[in-house]
Chains A and B, each alone.
Chain A
Amino acid sequence: MNRLSAGPIGGGSAASAAGQYRVCGNCRKVPRQEKRVQVSPPLTRGPSAFIPENEVMQANGLDERTNLLVEEYSTSGRLDNITQVMSIHTQYLESFLRSQFYMLRMDGPLPLPYRHYIAIMAAARHQCSYLINMHVDEFLKTGGIAEWLNGLEYIPQRLKNLNEINKLLAHRPWLITKEHIQKLVKTGENNWSLPELVHAVVLLAHYHALASFVFGSGINPERDPDTSNGVRLIAVNNFCVCDLANDNNIENASLTSSNFGIADSLSELEALMERMKRLQEDKEDEEASQEEMATRFEKEKKESLLVISGAFDDEIVSTDVSRYIEDPGFGYKDFARRGEEHLPTFRAQDYTWENHGFSLVNRLYSDIGHLLDEKFRMVYNLTYNTMATHEDVDTTTLRRALFNYVHCMYGIRYDDYDYGEVNQLLERSLKVYIKTVTCYPERTTKRMYDSYWRQFKHSEKVHVNLLLMEARMQAELLYALRAITRHLT
């Protein structure tokens, strides 16, 4: 095994000969360019920077099932870090891997290299170099043209046309209209057929959402067990290895553990459970709330405005990532903010996943509907009836609040949901975290991850991340599919 190869590592190893290295815009650290730098692989790092290694390991060390699943569905043939972290929730992992495997490897309208390139494009919107690296590899393995990896100028016009929808879908899906669809589908040399487009949309949404998960859970870059072939090195070395957002495991590590008292977080937990119980038992104020519901939704929408994750400078996107994106300045803009044009709220009841989204997606790209359906259902219903140290808790309201809050930020409203619940159940630090992870995941820091729900287990926080990821994916799909439906009628 060739130990000389520079497996990507993080951590403060930037000290040497700066002149030869480019500076990564993301973490401002220096990625290694030369292959021959001797690297001692970091030993203590697990799959995630946020979660102690043993938390993950203890969960899946015993788990035969996970290994079987990886054997079965992994495209790379190894247990990557995402899978390791997800394996805390094996049930979910199965449906996740199954659907991912289906969209990458099974029958589908798009050729295999296209699929990976689309994944790269999607991940690049959030500067998620972890996913980019992974798919650069797979792209080459499936016979993709290496030249495309030089950037968007080198790819066929047809793929390039996806940029617009990729951009909107990633940051402001509500802006997608049937005109966008028409433009892509319109007959011409570079047109997309509807099945192809649906496949692409599913991939885009999947990888946008997965980027959220990667940042939200602080997934570490892969330690390469075997990087002997040159292809991989070339591809990988162009990227900064900082990978997870703002490699904050160093800077913030000290802050988190010491600053917060255990006592008050305990009482926080109690209070939260109290509120949940109250919500489940009585819903007495309905008379008053009838007209108030709408205002509560508006309020929640507006309030999500205030939940801004600090002032960020305009990020400098490293060129390695930016060559896959167009218009890098385009980002999430609050749904509620645009008072002037005031886009209509998306009424969930008028276009639901179960009734409409599923039928359309399954019609155009067979079987993916069932897989996604199973995945959404799985994540929505997943529960161990525990909360932190407590057992036998019905967490339905909490899960629903998380799910609906994400949709709320994307302007999707449920008539039958009282958005007052969100306010009662989700504390401010959690809201900050949710908003960051779903809307600009690349800004997630360990501090954010640590600062909410301090009493909860890591596995529960991963569960939260899964919920956020799927809610986001569903929201994107709903907007895209609605536009396609409108195009069809």
Chain B
Amino acid sequence: MEKMARVTTALGGNTITGRTMFCHLDAPANAISVCRDAAQVVVAGRNIFKIYSIEEDQFVEKLNLRVGRKPSLNFSCADVVWHQMDENLLATAATNGVVVTWNLGKPSRNKQDQLFTEHKRTVNKVCFHPTEVYMLLSGSQDGYMKCFDLRKKDSVSTFSGQSESVRDVQFSIRDYFTFAATFENGNVQLWDIRRPDRYERMFTAHNGPVFCCDWHPEDRGWLATGGRDKMVKVWDMNTTRAKEIYCVQTIASVARVKWRPECKHHIATCSMMVDHNIYVWDVRRPFIPSAMFEEHKDVTTGIVWRHLHDPYFLLSGSKDSTLYQHIFKDASQPIDRANPEGLCYSLYGDLAFAAKESLISSDSNRKPYIGDRRHPIFFKRKLDPTEQFEYISSSSALSVFETDVESGSMDWFVHTAKQYALAGRPLAELCDHNAKVAKGLDRNQVAQTWTMLRIIYSSLGTVSSANLNHSIGKGSTTLPLMNSFNLKDIPSGLGSESRLDRSKGESRTENILMDSSSTLINNEDNEETEGSDVPADYLLGDVEGDEDDLYMMDHENPHAEEQEYSLPQEAFPLRHEIVDNPSALDHLQDKADSPHVSGNEAETVSLTPVESFSLISISHSLYENRLPSDFFNPIVRDTLLFYAEQGDVQTAVSVLIVLGDRIRKEIDEQTQEHWYTSYIDLLQRFQLWNISNEVIKLSTCRAINCLNQASTTLHINCSNCKRPMSNRGWICDRCRQCASMCAVCHHVVKGLFVWCQGCSHGGHLQHIMKWLETSSHCPAGCGHLCEYT
């Protein structure tokens, strides 16, 4: 606790010190208010009404105003206010509609002074006149505001808002006679206290109830309002029409607003539901709160600045039965946690990067990039030098880095997406088809994967053990086939390590830039070097150490072999290519750490390692012959992970869909969801809407599936007046007619609507079809010769 900031402020002889602290109340608070000298606070709620003094280190209960054995509803407070002129005078608004005043100077235990039972419904708000001792204002659910003179028994005047309940009333701080009232229907009214017959002005401030308002303590024209529509608005009332000058969008309905003393643009807010934090906003910067207090565990119901002229202490009461004193120094500042950089890839591998200008400029001074790829653009927001406020000083720069066209070509992606078959046929056919597609695009490794999937999952049942025996002999040539999947853990691990090393020395921007460009340029490069890149003994060593893996792959090969009998010869060279995949992977991992897809993988053949360890494998191949297909699931899973890791999420997702339940359980939901979203995102960027929709439909993830159910709205124009239809149904608001009538049956078409492009008449698909079978003229009788094809 000692670490907490201790703040001392001197205010004209009055010194306020303190730290962040809290105390437990016995019951939820509804409202709080402070005494003029900032040393005491009153807390009121349904079951609590107490005065605490604010000491250096703690709150000390001074007085319990809830007296009597069975307290009446008069003690059940919706609001409380402490007079700023007289420290003995308090007023409360009771939920049963009574306004009560309390005199702390009374000698008896019961401090209740006066009782006004004029309101018929709950009183939402009471407010003392800032300079007049005896004037009290109340606003109630029944739609009336009443002004009381405390020297009299009854109200002096009654103001009728002529509308629904009053949610807040506030005397203007500077204008002696003016007060503002906010209403449940979203209106704000200004009244002159001398004229109870009619409001001075009225305007609609919010959509839905306006829960609160607060006059600016210095600037006399400003009124802040907060509403259920989650907005805080600042109105300039000096002009003839109230003008909205600032608007802050919060995340929940706004229950209270309070201007921060001595800071012209700061305002504290708390919410009524869901959100428990207190925010202090700079109204000029409406998107991020400048400070945040996160102590409360339930909604905050009352906030008040401890002293009229001290901006550093904020008191708050909450439904979680605590009373807090917040110190500004301890506030969390979301701005510190905000990420000041933004980064985005375009479809073709261009990269846009935005960051604080200071960051960028120092960077680019230091090191020139590969020149021709970069077209930096800078945006700046210049500040008004008169503003003394330091948070706002920010300017940022946006750079765009482009890549040349061919190397980033994604044609294969589009083609693959279009041609793949994902459902509707037996598994074997799907796999074959997709393998062919992949092969047609020179993606041999992917083609091979599809072929193997077919072998694993669709032919297993039919393979007899006799066949297996027969195939073992041949197995030796193809044994290393599976290597790529088992070995890849190690290389990729290494890859990422080396990546880390690289990135250490350099700044982030540069690293990303390098990576992206090198991936794209080095594609050809890759192919040439990768065979020699990885030492063969390294590969071997790994295989020896990992017998289980070997055993597994051995097992798969016989099947593969057996199947390939029927396949044309060209299958053989393909197999070898996969062997060197580990090295290719190594390479790619090294360079492409971006999600960006790297197109054609390794093509080169490296035979050395193959021969060397085929011997080891054979010894294991005799073990088991018949295994359930889920035995291979781990391998297939690794395959998919491998592809996804490489950036080829297309293959991963396609396999996932084709295999369906066979593999789904192996991969955790979140990963699947991640793949799906990435793939769908890519598809949509390429405007492959139909395919992305198909993928969504076929996906088994709930989260993905429901993408199709959200925002299924279709916007249409009225066929009569050509204006947009409101989204409420079938009648045009403007011309009061049903749009889209069927020309045949004269009913509204709610579904497929077909129309002639010549005369624009149309109707139900079925009806039109039927009609045009027998007649060639338009059913609407316009004489047009319609045609249905």
A interface list, Cβ under 8 A from B: 68, 71-73, 77, 98, 101, 107, 109, 111, 283, 286-287, 290-291, 293-294, 347, 349-350, 354-356, 358-360, 363, 370, 373, 414-416, 485, 488-489
Contact with A along B258-292 (1 / 0, CB 8 A): 00000000000000111010000000000000000
Question: Once bound together, how far apart are the Cα atoms of A71 and B747, in whole Å?
Answer: 9
Cβ 8 A contact of B78, one of A109, A286, A349, A358: A349
Min CB gap B503→A, angstroms: 36
Give chain A nearest CB distance to B119 CB in angstroms.
8
User: Could you tell me the distance between the alpha carbons of A71 and B740 in the complex, rounded to whole angstroms?
Assistant: 12
A363 to B117, Cβ gap below 8 A? Answer: no
Do A363 and B274 have beta carbons less than 8 Å apart?
yes
A111 to B708, CA, bound (A): 10
**A356: B residues at CB distance < 8 A:** 272-273
Binds A, one of B520-528, B584-592, B725-733: B725-733
B276 touches A489 (CB 8 A): yes
Whether a CB of chain A sits under 8 angstroms from the CB of B122 is yes
What residues of A have a CB within 8 angstroms of the CB of B276 in the complex? 489
Shortest distance from the beta carbon of A457 to any chain B beta carbon, whole Å: 28
Do the beta carbons of B728 and A416 come within 8 Å of each other? no
B20 close to chain A: CB less than 8 A: no
Residues of B within 8 A of A77 (CB): 750
Q: Is B365 an interface residue (CB 8 A)?
A: no
Identify B95's interface contact among A72, A101, A294, A416, CB under 8 A: A416
Bound together, the chains give a CA A73 to CA B726 distance in angstroms of: 13
* Distance between B236 CB and nearest chain A CB, rounded to angstroms: 28
Q: Supply 20 further A-B pairs (C-beta < 8 A) apart from A290-B98, A354-B184.
A: A68-B736, A71-B738, A71-B748, A72-B729, A73-B729, A101-B729, A107-B712, A347-B46, A349-B122, A354-B228, A359-B252, A359-B272, A360-B273, A360-B274, A363-B252, A370-B208, A416-B96, A416-B97, A488-B274, A489-B298
Cβ of B472 to closest chain A Cβ, rounded Å: 43
Supposing A72-B729, A294-B73, A485-B273 touch, asked if A359 and B122 sit within 8 A by C-beta, the answer is no
Q: In the complex the two chains form, is B731's CB within 8 Å of A355's CB?
A: no
Q: CB distance A359 to B70 under 8 Å?
A: no
Output the least CB separation between B226 and chain A (Å): 12
- Which residue of A293, A349, A414 has the most chain B CB atoms within 10 A of its CB atom? A349
Contact assessment for B117 and A359 in the assembled complex, using a CB-CB cutoff below 8 Å: no
The minimal Cβ–Cβ distance linking B208 to chain A, given in whole angstroms, is 8
Say how far B657's CB is from chain A's closest CB, in angstroms. 21
B97 to A: closest C-beta gap in Å? 4
20 interchain pairs (CB within 8 A)?
A73-B729, A98-B728, A107-B710, A107-B711, A109-B709, A283-B117, A286-B117, A347-B46, A349-B46, A355-B253, A355-B272, A356-B272, A358-B208, A370-B208, A415-B73, A415-B96, A416-B95, A416-B120, A416-B121, A416-B141
**Are B121 and A359 interface neighbours, CB within 8 A?**
no
CB <8 Å contact, B273 and A109 = no
**Are B731 and A72 in contact, with the CB atoms below 8 A?**
yes
C-alpha gap A290/B272 in the complex (Å) = 29
Most buried by A among B73, B96, B117, B710: B96
In the bound assembly, the distance between CA atoms of A294 and B95 in angstroms comes to 13
A-B residue pairs, 8 tightest by C-beta: A72-B729, A415-B95, A359-B273, A416-B122, A415-B96, A416-B97, A359-B253, A349-B95
Chain B residues proximal to chain A, CB less than 8 Å: 46, 70, 72-74, 76, 78, 94-98, 117, 119-122, 141, 184, 208-209, 211, 228, 252-253, 272-274, 276, 297-299, 706, 709-713, 728-731, 736, 738, 748, 750
In the bound complex, residues from chain B placing their C-beta under 8 Å from that of A415 are 73, 76, 94-97, 122
Complex interface: chain B residues within 8 A of A488 (CB): 274
Taking the nearest CB of chain B, how far is it from the CB of A10, in angstroms?
Answer: 30
CA distance A237 to B297 in the complex (A): 55
Chain B contact residues, majority secondary structure = loop
B297 A489 Cβ-Cβ under 8 A? yes
Distance of A356 Cα from B253 Cα, bound (Å): 9
Establish whether residues A358 and B96, one from each chain, have CB atoms under 8 Å apart when the complex forms: no
A135 to chain B, nearest CB (A): 18
Q: How far is the CA of A294 from the CA of B76 in the complex (A)?
A: 13
B209 contacts A354, CB within 8 Å?
A: yes
**Please, how many angstroms separate the alpha-carbon atoms of A358 and B713 in the complex?**
24
Which of the listed residues B72, B76, B209, B273 has the most CB atoms from chain A within 10 Å of its own CB? Answer: B273
Give complex CA distance A454, B728 in Å: 40
CA distance A414 to B142 in the complex (A): 13
Instruction: Give A72 to B98 CA distance when docked, in angstroms.
Output: 47
A355 touches B211 (CB 8 A): yes
CA distance A360 to B120 in the complex (A): 28
User: Closest chain B residue to A287 by CB distance?
Assistant: B117
Indicate if the CB atoms of B731 and A71 lie closer than 8 Å.
yes
Whole-angstrom CA separation of A464 from B413 in the bound complex:
65
Q: With a CB–CB cut-off of 8 A, which chain A residues contact B728? A: 72-73, 98
A287 to B95: give the CA distance in the assembly, Å. 16
Q: Is the CB of B274 within 8 A of A291?
A: no
- Which residues of A sit under 8 angstroms from B709, Cβ to Cβ? 109, 111
Tell me, in angstroms, the Cα distance from A416 to B94 when the chains sit together.
9
**Residues of B contacting A373 with CB < 8 Å?**
208
Best-buried of B98, B208, B748 by chain A (most CB within 10 Å): B208
Q: Are A291 and B70 in contact (CB under 8 A)?
A: yes
Quote the shortest CB–CB distance from A7 to chain B (angstroms).
21
Report the nearest B residue to A373, measured CB to CB: B208
List chain A residues, Cβ under 8 A from B713: 107
Q: What residues on A are CB-neighbors of B750 within 8 Å?
A: 77
Please pick, from A71, A291, A358, the residue contacting B228 in the complex, using a CB distance under 8 A: A358
Q: Are A72 and B730 in contact (CB under 8 A)?
A: yes
Q: When the two chains form their complex, are residues B117 and A291 in contact, meaning their CB atoms are under 8 A apart?
A: no
Instruction: Return chain B residues, CB-CB under 8 Å to A287.
Output: 117
Taken together as a complex, chains A and B put the C-alpha atoms of A73 and B97 apart, in Å, by 41
A364 to B302, alpha carbons, bound, how many Å?
A: 25
| Residue picked from A287, A294, A355, A370, most chain B C-beta under 10 Å | A355
Give the CA-CA distance A192 to B180 in the complex, in Å. Answer: 45
B541 to chain A, nearest CB (A): 43
A188: min CB distance to chain B, Å: 12
Tell me the complex Cα distance, A105–B127, Å: 47
| Cβ–Cβ < 8 Å partners of A101 in chain B | 729
Tell me the smallest distance from the CB of A411 to a CB of chain B, in Å.
16
Nearest B residue to A489 via CB reads B298
Docked Cα-Cα span, A290 to B76, in Å, equals: 12
Are A283 and B120 neighbours in the complex by a CB distance under 8 Å?
A: yes
Complex CA–CA separation, A101 to B738 (angstroms): 17
Residues of chain A with a CB closer than 8 A to B736's CB = 68
CA distance A290 to B72 in the complex (A): 7
Q: For the complex, what is the distance from the CA of A233 to the CA of B210, rounded to whole Å?
A: 52
Tell me the bound Cα distance from A143 to B141 in angstroms: 47
Q: A219 CA to B721 CA in the complex, in Å?
A: 39
Cα distance, A71 to B141, chains bound together (Å): 38
CA distance A485 to B209 in the complex (A): 20
Nearest Cβ in chain A — how far from B471, in angstroms?
41
Quote the shortest CB–CB distance from A370 to chain B (angstroms): 8
Judging by beta carbons under 8 Å apart, are B730 and A71 in contact?
A: yes
Query: Closest Cβ of chain B: how far from A423's Cβ, in Å?
Result: 18
Residues of A within 8 A of B738 (CB): 71
A223 to B396, CA, bound (A): 69
| A355 CB contacts on chain B under 8 angstroms | 209, 211, 228, 253, 272-273
Output the least CB separation between A284 and chain B (Å): 10
Q: Bound complex: CA of A341 vs CA of B673, how far in Å?
A: 47
Residues of A within 8 A of B70 (CB): 291
Q: Quick one: which of B709, B711, B748 has the most chain A CB within 10 A?
A: B709
A356→B272 CA distance, assembly (Å) = 7
By a CB distance below 8 angstroms, the chain B residues around A71 are: 729-731, 738, 748
**Cβ of B712: which chain A residues have Cβ within 8 Å of it?**
107
With a CB–CB cut-off of 8 A, which chain A residues contact B72?
A: 290-291
CB contacts (< 8 Å) of A485 on chain B: these are 273-274
Contact residues in B for A414 (Cβ distance below 8 Å):
122
| B contact residues around A359 at 8 Å (CB) | 228, 252-253, 272-274
Chain A residues near B95 (CB-CB < 8 A): 347, 349, 415-416
In the complex, residue of chain B having the shortest beta-carbon distance to the beta carbon of A293: B73
